[in-house]
Amino acid sequence: MPEPAAARALPSDASAAGLTEAEAARRLADTGPNEVAAGKPVRLHSRVLAQLRDPLVMVLIGAVVLTLAIGDHPDAIVIALVVVVNTTVGVAQEIRADNAVAALSALSAPHARVRRGGAVRDLPASGIVPGDVLVLGEGDIVAADAELAEASALLLDESMLTGESAPVDKAAGAALGAGTVVVRGRGVATVTATGAAGALGRIAALLDDRHEPTPLQRRLASLGRVLAAVTLALCVLVLALGLVRGLPPGTMAVTAISLAVAAVPESLPAVVTLALALGARRMAARHALVRRLPAVETLGSVSVLATDKTGTLTEGRMAVEYVWTPRASAGFTGVGHEPTGEVLVAGRPAGEEELVPVRKLLTAAALCNDATLRPPDTTTPGGRWTALGDPMEAALLTAAARAGCPRPEELAATFPRTGEAPFDSLRKRMSTLHTTERGRVLVCLKGAPEAVLVPGVLDEPPDTVARARSRAASLAARGHRVLAVASGVRDDLPKPCTAAESGLELLGLVALSDPPKPHAARTLASCRAAGITPVLITGDHPATARAVADRVALLGEADEADGRVVTGADVAAGRVADLTTVRVFARTDPRQKLDIVEAWRARGAVTAMTGDGVNDGPALHRADIGVAMGARGTEVARQAADLVLTDDELSTVVTAVEEGRRVYDNIRRFLVYGAAGGAAEILVMLIGPLLGLPLPLRAGQILWINLLTHGLTGVAMGAEPASPGTMRRPPRPPDQHILGGGAWQRLLLLAAVVTTATLGAALAARTLGLPWQSVLFLALLAAQLGVVLGLRARPLTGKNPFLLLAVLASALLAVAALYVPFLSAVLETEPLGRAAIGIAAACAPVGFLAARLVRTAFRRTAPGGTAGASGLP
């Protein structure tokens, strides 16, 4: 027998007394706090400047300068107000999200038990220094990298560092990583590295503080540059034409600048920010916390979803899924550690006779067990059963409860434990001895199949043992953790306890795994229907990764990708020519996760990466959208992410993608509407003089129309609900222009219709001797309001009442411009009679019908005949 771990000598720093307080203080001054270097807090002025550097906002600032230059102070104030509101909302959302993440972090701030000066103290993990002696017990988080000096049945959950779902046994001399969790046993360890020098610090060093622009930001920046060029060209063109016609230079300068301002949809930043803010609010109500406002829209462009396994696709716990006995086999259903669930035989509820061998096996497994199940707290609504101890042992207790076995406390009273041989990594089995009511000794044993299905332990016919080995191998190949359970009765208490581990009856096999979440398969199917490619990246065993991928149908029927499982070693060695052809990766480390994400991005994909562990942090940061689990996620993961899921459900990502697509559709819809209106105004000013209308619109009239159409109604468009079929179309190509996919054509057609209707109304009014300029003013505004209603995905519904109210308010303000003396004088309009108002109002249904016809035409030409299939909202 090897020397017991507890007998090994401690390293020099790990003396019985531990460090003195003075020595600990000196080392803390030398090495700094035991914290991963946090990013520098973003100052308020930096946040504001980041908002103002947006190209469209810079165009608006230029528009403010131009309007001030022509003395149009009211319009300058309106445009400046748009800039202020846009900046305020964007900055407020960032601060709100950062505060929420900080609150989550405070809840998870770790402490550690440390031996100092001969006494055990509970200290914040940030105060741990190299050489400190950590005292570890069940439920403790290892506060820093350490070397294990003493261990007693120590089992660690290392999933946060490695992605491995199954806990790992640790013996004296083993290295412990910061952030791992003790699930069973106890130990004493000496700290070897803290802060940036530890495993967490090395992973955090892979993070990059820079944020690349999102697809929407890139598209809007491109649009901003185009608008700036168009604005300058219009100023020059209109001014030149006016001067050629002999109009006063001062008047034409004012008109040219006013028209240029009208060509810029100044409410676009407000529409974008409001749409993103409303989207972020809706996401928060549905358990998705947005940390950066532009990330809302980026979700709608996601084409690849790289997901981890443990806690995302799976429940993040061990569960008994199958039991095999020489007489019968059964499957188990249920969620969590709740005692409710079914035992199924051949797909139907098991009968009492069929349950007898299953209960016998699980009763022995419950006796040979050190875990504890805790019922929900009755004072907390919606509480769940929880477990303490080895996750596999807790799963055995849960299965025993579902099979109708006596409760653990009843078993302990009926069969009190009198001895045990604990599990260790050498024996790979555990046995317990119990006194029966007749005074005999009941032996219960469980362990790895290779340590139990051997002649020295079992007294069974060879064919029975061979059948058990074959079934164990089959279950292991399907990604299950397999335990063999045996029992026997002795007349006397054997000494030592291990002497009882022979001549036992094989009760059967238990297959455990981390079960997929109930909605995981449906969530991945929704992703594929939306044109999003799911990819599994885990640190777990390849067989386990493959089994989970098969159970959640990660590879769709039409998926032609490579179906093999590629390991991190394959990626590191360059044995995979194209990483984007693989859908399942196993045994990956943080660097290889980065390589996979980068490969997809190099291919032009917009990537979303989910994760909860420290090892996921760099990839979360590098992906276009990093999605962290809020409840069980680590601080590194939350800080690296753009989106934090407070419910840890992958289905919430699909909800967020739908919200992102809705936001992007509304932005495009506004751009089509606003740019069509602006183009119509330009065409009216250019074509009108050729038809005998010398100065179709005055500067004030242009700006008033712009304020009502782009302002009230434009901003209200940001609250439009999602279009039908939003999640049944592919994501937009990342390089597609924001007005691509047919939006330019629709914009020009609408501009042509509005221009024609407006000029037609003005010419008709002139023929009848009516005030044609005021008719043209009202007709242009009415036509644009008709367009905004016609562009809605659901035009005849009461959804988004804000838009209906905005249209009504804009119409009333348009009429007020004709009849309120002050406005009439400023805008140089005239009151109109019924005939003139009828001519102008007739342009509204023309604009509405044009918008509906354009939508229908593009829908018919789109692939599959579905709205939006061509990339249109």
Catalytic residue annotation = 308
Residue 228, judged by CB atoms within 10 A of its CB (0-12, 13-18, 19+), counts as middle
Tokens of 783: 């036509």
CA angle 166, 170, 175 (to 5 degrees): 105
Tokens of 341: 């669930």
Tokens of 654: 């699909």
Alpha-carbon separation of residue 426 from 86, 417, 447, 451 (angstroms): 64, 23, 11, 10
CA nearest to 404, candidates 366, 368, 370, 371: 366
* For residue 496, cis peptide bond before it (omega within 30 degrees of 0): yes
If you search the block for the tokens 């032009």, which residue do you land on?
604
Cα separation, 735 vs 605, in Å, equals 10
Cα separation, 392 vs 365, in Å, equals 10
Distance of CA 344 to the CA centre of its chain: 35
Cα separation, 135 vs 120, in Å, equals 8
Residue 230, judged by CB atoms within 10 A of its CB (0-12, 13-18, 19+), counts as middle
The angle, 0 to 180 degrees and rounded to 10, between the axes of the packed helices 268-285 and 215-244 is: 160
CA nearest to 10, candidates 218, 183, 151, 155: 151
CA angle 534, 539, 540 (to 5 degrees): 95
H/E stretch holding 94 reads helix 73-107
Q: Running DSSP on this structure, what letter comes out for residue 407?
A: P
Tokens of 165: 């779902």
Tokens of 653: 């990502």
Q: Residues 771-803, buried b or exposed e (16+ Cβ, 10 A)?
A: bbbbbbbbbbbbbbbbbbbbbbbeeeeeebeeb
Tokens of 502: 């022979």
DSSP-derived 3-state class of residue 566: strand
Q: Which amino acid is at 80?
A: A
If you search the block for the tokens 């409840």, which residue do you land on?
631
DSSP-derived 3-state class of residue 710: helix
Q: Which amino acid is at 149?
A: A
Torsion of CA 745, 230, 781, 845, to 10 degrees: -10
Residues 6+ away with beta carbon under 8 Å from 439? none
Alpha-carbon separation of residue 771 from 7, 283, 484 (angstroms): 104, 51, 95
Q: Which amino acid is at 687?
A: I
Cβ proximity of 765 and 772 under 8 Å = yes
Q: Running DSSP on this structure, what letter comes out for residue 871?
A: S
Q: Running DSSP on this structure, what letter comes out for residue 868?
A: T
Cα separation, 488 vs 506, in Å, equals 9
Residue 740, judged by CB atoms within 10 A of its CB (0-12, 13-18, 19+), counts as middle
